[in-house]
Structure 1
């Protein structure tokens, strides 16, 4: 299983060579460690992670302005930016997952869409974990990196329609995805995807164990 998930990061080790470097090389203390999310993420995705709170606030404001205040309120902690709890580790196993798209990019899309439940899977990889959405027309697939006491970082790509293999991470900025994995209750997590490339201003994927 790990080969399919890690395949999309086969070129990630060379991402640094594609980015603009300072005239003098940074010291080892300043350079992101290989295998960390900062050493793997594209510049675009680092910016997404840095701007997560602003993206969330903009998405909530847009959805409320379009009449979805009650929908947001009904989701409780799931859509509250500061609801993350300690110990964000997402254990390996099968999950039920559903996506909520909040805010609109203004191209005729709705300001709030809550989808039904689909299937997701978390698998142990070589020293990391992967997250794969198995069903649905939009399927994030990628790796989970440790970060701090309240969040992990997801980096991956978006699989669409009947595609059987994801594109490599870093090869298509419209498919790259970056987000926060947080625990919001006992056996309840969320993947927060700020500034997605399509449709919404924020995607939130709720994850609960399948059994």
Structure 2
């Protein structure tokens, strides 16, 4: 009798646990995106150098953000409603910091998903781990 009750209880516990990023991005991305991701460090460095030519007030905001310590996702439940923003560094414009918008993080059992729920562009995507932080 106990084993028959144990399985449903374990299933309920499994559904109640927070969803974590699964680190499976390398299995899902295209070869072109993998090549871009492999160059992330140098691309990020170049974009941040270009961003320094942007509006001084926005550069100050970017510097403050970059000075914050990295935080590990493990052991955290990010699901819920959030305020998010997009920052574009380098490229057509040196630096663009957009205003805050509403977003939501959900867990679907295989990881977290981000959905932008306000504003003109409705971005959606999945979180993937690339390391401890």
TM-score, normalised via structure 1 length: 0.45
User: Pick from 104, 109, 127: which aligns with 2:110?
Assistant: 127
User: Pick from 15, 19, 29: which aligns with 1:41?
Assistant: 29
Higher Rg of the two aligned structures:
2
The root-mean-square deviation of aligned C-alpha atoms, in Å, is: 2.6
Aligned counterparts of 1:91 and 1:100: Cα–Cα separation in 2:
20
Aligned counterparts of 1:69 and 1:101: Cα–Cα separation in 2:
15
Structure 1, unmatched stretches of 5+, are: 1-34, 151-211
Say whether 1:87 aligns with 2:73. yes
Partner of 1:143: 126
The Cα offsets for residues 140-197 of structure 1, whole Å up to 9 and x where unpaired, read as 21222334211xxxxxxxxxxxxxxxxxxxxxxxxxxxxxxxxxxxxxxxxxxxxxxx
* Secondary structure, counterpart of 2:119 in structure 1: coil
- In the TM superposition, residue 90 of structure 1 has moved relative to its aligned partner by 5.9
More strand by share: 1
Where relative contact order (Cα < 8 A, 6+ residues apart) is larger, the structure is: 2
* Secondary structure, counterpart of 2:37 in structure 1: helix
1:92·1:123 contact (CA, 8 Å) conserved in 2? Answer: yes
Structure 2, unmatched stretches of 5+, are: 1-22
Q: How many equivalent residue pairs? A: 110
Partner of 1:60: 48
TM-score, normalised via structure 2 length: 0.67
More helix by share: 2
> Deviation above 4 Å: which 4+ runs of structure 1?
none
* Secondary structure, counterpart of 1:122 in structure 2: strand
